[in-house]
Amino acid sequence: MHRIYPDQPHPLHDTAATRRLEQTAAALLPAHTLMQRAGLAVARLARALAPHARTIWIACGPGNNGGDGLEAAMHLHQQGLPVVVTWLGVPESAPADALRSWQRAQDAGVQFSHEAPSGLGPNDLCIDALLGIGLAPGDTRPAPQGRLTTLLAQLRCSPATLLAVDLPTGLQGDTGQYAPGFAPRSDAGYRAERHTLALLTLKPGLFTGTGRDAAGTVWLDGLECDTSSEPPGAWLSGPPESRVRAHSSHKGSYGDVAVIGGEGLQARGMGMTGAALLAASAALHGGAGRVLVSLLGGSALELDVLQPELMFRHVDVLPMAQLTVVCGCGGGEAVRAVLPRVLAQAPRLVLDADALNAVAADAALQQALAARAHQSQATVLTPHPLEAARLLGRDTGAVQAHRLVAAEQLSTRFGCVVVLKGSGSVIAAPGQPPTINPTGNARLATAGTGDVLAGLIGARWAAGADPLRAAIEAVYTHGRAAEAWPTGQVLTAGALARGLVRPV
């Protein structure tokens, strides 16, 4: 068993692949072996998380996830720990393995109760063994009610540490979203420290969408099984490779980034020059050799006195074919006029913000974007969920409900790399399993941080990384910078850009 840190890549398997692996392993092992291993793993982690607990309450569902909890209860009780179990099953209809674990718990003398124990405190432990992966994507069962609803609310609202077995109940392992009726109330949520022990495989939903909040700290126990027969359906990314700059290198070694955007105040009375300057600052601090800035909409700015390294150019004089272009940050309506040339000429192009909205609203621009892949021109799109929804012709809820699928569909449709931003950003490229980013936090929920990400992708790409690697590394670095931000200090996009780690 080990805790999942963002220090290396990890393979992710969806529910169908996990079930196939489980069935294969079960066929090769004596009956009940997998559940015994799972229960022992839960018990070990439970003891480590709450060594001084006065009460360990395990809420067990009627299926095999509940069986894992019953097996854990037996071990904890035999170790002298104060265990109380609430089981939603009945012996007459329990699966064979779960029934066997229930009998083992009964024989060991585990205390069973129809209700949650009273007086649970911060040093105690609640274990959610209600459903696990038993709730598959698209499950049409009715919304939870009765005792399941009551137990779930008590688990979430208890001040005790909460440990979920395999998946938090109601969270869909493939999507990172709750099934209908399972999401916590907006005024309730979770009150305690949260952990999830993934069994056999890591599921994508633990790391994206609402999954990160629901799962808390994620652990994995592979149950001593070989999972190599199932290729990963996705990956959790790890840190960028360390690179040392050669002494003989020069600014030309690390490429030129041009940022096109920043509609001026004169155009519509809504100045957005700052967005382009933030992207340019990120490219500068992210290691680009030179950074050119082309402001749109009649902006008269010729020098950023705080960043004199930035070189201002009129968009018409940019040597587009020689540049890595970041287009759209604060581009407003003015970006529409320059997009045809940008799409036709830029060999390496990051499209963000208003450029994405312009493409979504114009069929000709969509065709020009899709054609780039057939002309050896590479593109990275960096939409947030609303921008992705516009590009796909859907609503935001549909995108968020299937984040990996949405990113892959955009990638396939336009033949490019896609960074679907949000909690657990998803990076997709045609013909490759998507990658989920494990870094970042709510400090990034402020204006301009997306512009910073676009500029950083441009810098990584200009310096020699391929577009997929540039996107994965930039998203990771962007999130890591937010995580490392000093406690008590406000994170602004400008400070984030200046705080990016530049290659040695």
pTM: 0.95
Topology at the third CATH level for domain 2-234? Rossmann fold (3.40.50)
Q: Concatenate the DSSP letters of all residues of 264-306 into one string.
A: -HHHHS---HHHHHHHHHHHHHTT-SEEEEEE-TT------TT
**How many degrees, rounded to 5, is the angle at CA 364 between CA 358 and CA 370?**
90
| pLDDT recorded at residue 241 | 84
pLDDT attached to residue 250: 76
CA atoms 218, 223, 227, 230: torsion sign: negative
pLDDT, tens digit (0-9, with 9 covering 90-100), for 411-427: 999 999 999 999 999 99
Domain regions of the chain by residue span: 2-234, 251-498
Structural contact between residues 379 and 369, judged by C-beta atoms closer than 8 angstroms = yes
Torsion sign, CA atoms 269, 273, 276, 282: negative
Q: How far are the Cα atoms of 155, 191, 196 from residue 184, in angstroms, in the given order?
A: 11, 11, 17
Amino acid code (one letter) for 100: R
pLDDT digits (tens, 9 = 90+) for 71-123: 999 999 999 999 999 999 999 999 999 999 999 999 999 999 999 999 999 99
Residue 94 tokens read as 């329990």
Question: CA 175, 180, 181, 182: dihedral to nearest 10 degrees?
Answer: -10
The pair of structure tokens assigned to 421 is 């931003």
Q: Are 341 and 320 in contact (CB under 8 A)?
A: yes
Q: Closest Cα partner for 230 from 404, 38, 20, 4?
A: 20
pLDDT at 188 over 70: no
Higher-confidence residue: 140 or 501?
A: 501
CA dihedral 356, 362, 364, 369 (to 10 degrees): 10
Q: How many CA atoms lie within 13 A of 236 on its CB side?
A: 23
Kindly indicate the confidence band of residue 68, based on its pLDDT and cuts at 50, 70 and 90. very high
Residue 189's pLDDT band (cuts 50, 70, 90): low
Total residues belonging to the chain: 504
- Give the tens place of pLDDT for each residue, 120-145: 999 999 999 999 998 755 555 555 66
Q: Does domain 251-498 have CATH number 3.40.1190.20?
A: yes
